[in-house]
Amino acid sequence: MSMLQRKHLIAGAWVDAEDRFENQPVEGPADSFAAGSDALVDQAVRAAEEAFWTFGYTTRAARAAFLRAIADEIEVRGDAITAMGTKETGLPTARLEGERGRTTGQLRYFAQAIEAGDYLDRTHDAALPDRAPLPRPDLRLMQRPIGPVAIFGASNFPLAFSTAGGDTAAALAAGCPVVVRGHPAHPGVSDLVAQAIDAAIKACDMPAGVFSLIQGGPLEVGAALVQHPLIKAVGFTGSLRGGRALFDLCAGRPVPIPFFGELGSVNPMFLLPELLASKAQATAEGWAASLTMGAGQFCTNPGVVVMIKSEGADTFLQAAEAALSEVAPQVMLTDGISQAYTAGQSKISGADNVTSVVAGEAGPRCAAPSLATVAASDWLADDTLADEVFGPFGLVVVCENAEEMLAVAKGLHGQLTCTLHLVSGDEALAQNLMPILEHKAGRVLANGFPTGVEVCDAMMHGGPYPASTNFGATSVGAMSIRRFLRAVSYQNLPDALIPQDLL
Ligand code: NAP
């Protein structure tokens, strides 16, 4: 039903460009799309700035209706989006349908959150005119939207972390217009989702510049977007390398702006001794399933296991080897990602003192699981062994004793998640690990796997650098709206000059 526009959406108009690029379908003919340019970025950002003066002052009810209309319009195009998504990313239909539900659910959840209004942090310190020695003025505080926001999605979530994903939903909920730099791994999906947003803008009578999509193009286009003087913040989901490059550009601007980068992580799991003595086999099988789900292409993929030498640890390794050896190669999101996976896992598996246990062989654009093991002392001595390998690669770090396990925990980089697997009898070691793990990760979980990030008020999907470039921020959950707000105090202002939401 829905047809591709193959152009950029800029302030309600589909804009073509001479330069073009093609998507990389898993099979079938490629589609060609208009490529981005600095001039188009400038056009979109100026339209966003103009829209801000209306959109930033819309009522919460109007913005909530807009978010719900986007969700409805995505559902109307649901089948076409899924068909395009499977073609461009190789992700299965069920996964993309689930991701669509998460994306529309997220939009409706943000609608509810702004209606409830807690995110505004409204505070009133009433005047104390008779206070000695000095009277206190009347002070009211509230969060206000910051202005146009640039958004970069990730390849592995073509819906939930992309064009109308969490960052876009959070910025629109806050009252900030959005310019999306479309991910070149799924321009067709972005095109269809932009059509849905465009329809919602028209249905809700929102200013046209509230949303623009600049499709892929040279990297300089992304750089121009984050450096545009009218952009007030950046939401980024992606790799450490890309995120760091754009973060540095934001910091180097004449007027620096916040860069909310949610980057990858290795999500270590700590298997405690009593658990290994009783549940090594089942835990290994669960890990293998989690590690290979979606070809391991999750920022929350549990890529590292830490355990103490024991019979149970040997059983775990043997069971993980058996389970991972049986998993067939899976299609990856892009050729580039599969090449990076092959290079990353061979670099770690082939490093000094690392033993390769399963060396997955796969064809082009495919990944087969790989497994390697290393002694904790060697892992601690080589910082590069802690790097994320995006794909189904597992590294098992074997400690001599509990002290070494604590040292490994202390040696971790910032993580999105850390997981404890424990049973009765493991509490003492778990209690010693807890202060370290909560210092290292945004989310600590027990007896489960970190993939599957719940969208809810209590979710923290961020963490100390490099998991996130801003460790106080989350890119999932209601708190993510706060990234695009700035608190303002209103002192002794008459009611007529105070935002309606504060009265
Ligand atoms: P990516 O390669 O960093 O791409 C993300 C976006 O940034 C793309 O649009 C990309 O454009 C752009 N980009 C990258 N480097 C740039 C630069 N130097 N200048 C301008 N633009 C640049 O990431 P990805 O492959 O899409 O996603 C996979 C990564 O995301 C994994 O590391 C995964 O762990 C992480 N991830 C994190 C989360 C989270 O919430 N923390 C969620 C999902 C994924 P080009 O493609 O044109 O380079």
Tens of pLDDT, residue by residue over 216-242, are: 888 999 999 999 999 999 999 999 999
Does residue 243 have a pLDDT over 80?
A: yes
Does residue 479 have a pLDDT over 60?
A: yes
Tally of CB atoms within 10 A around 109:
20
393-420 tens-digit pLDDT = 999 999 999 999 999 999 999 999 999 9
Average pLDDT for residues 46-74, to the nearest whole number? 98
Average pLDDT for residues 276-303, to the nearest whole number? 97
- What are the tokens at 300? 């929350």
Distance 221 CA to ligand 1 centre (A): 14
Q: Which atom of ligand 1 is nearest to the CA of 462?
A: 41
Amino acid occupying residue 330:
Q
3-class SS letters over 146-206: CCCEEEECCCCCCCCCCCCCHHHHHHHHHCCCEEEECCCCCHHHHHHHHHHHHHHHHHHCC
Q: What's the burial of 346, exposed, middle or buried (CB within 10 Å: 0-12/13-18/19+)? A: middle
**Overall size of the chain counted in residues:** 503
Task: Note the pLDDT of residue 361.
Answer: 77
Q: What is the CA radius of gyration of the chain?
A: 24
Task: Note the pLDDT of residue 47.
Answer: 98
Q: 11-15, 250-254, 311-315, 467-471 — which is least confidently predicted?
A: 467-471
311-331 tens-digit pLDDT = 999 999 999 999 999 999 999
Which one of 49, 88, 262, 388 is the catalytic residue?
262
Pocket of ligand 1 (CB under 6 A): 152, 154-157, 161, 181, 183-184, 216, 219, 222-223, 237-239, 242, 245-246, 262-264, 299, 337, 388, 390, 416, 461, 475
Distance 252 CA to ligand 1 centre (A): 20
Tell me if residue 299 is catalytic. Answer: yes
2 — pLDDT class (breaks 50, 70, 90): low
Does residue 1 have a pLDDT over 50?
A: no
Does residue 130 have a pLDDT over 50?
A: yes
Distance 262 CA to ligand 1 centre (A): 9
Helix (H), strand (E) counts: the chain: 14, 21
Task: Note the pLDDT of residue 235.
Answer: 98
Q: Strand 485-491 and strand 139-145: pairing?
A: antiparallel
Instruction: State the residue for tokens 């302030």.
Output: 11
Pocket test for ligand 1, best of 106, 155, 265, 266 (most atoms within 8 A of CB): 155
- The percent of residues in the chain predicted with pLDDT above 90, rounded, is 96
Average pLDDT for residues 270-296, to the nearest whole number? 97
Residue with CA at minimum distance from ligand 1 atom 28: 238
182-216 tens-digit pLDDT = 999 999 999 999 999 999 999 999 999 999 999 98
Average pLDDT, the chain: 96
Q: What sign has the CA pseudo-torsion 168, 169, 171, 176?
A: positive
Q: Which atom of ligand 1 is nearest to the CA of 333?
A: 25
**Running DSSP on this structure, what letter comes out for residue 214?**
E
Tell me if residue 403 is catalytic. Answer: no
Does residue 27 have a pLDDT over 70?
A: yes
**What is this structure's pTM?**
0.96
Task: Note the pLDDT of residue 472.
Answer: 87
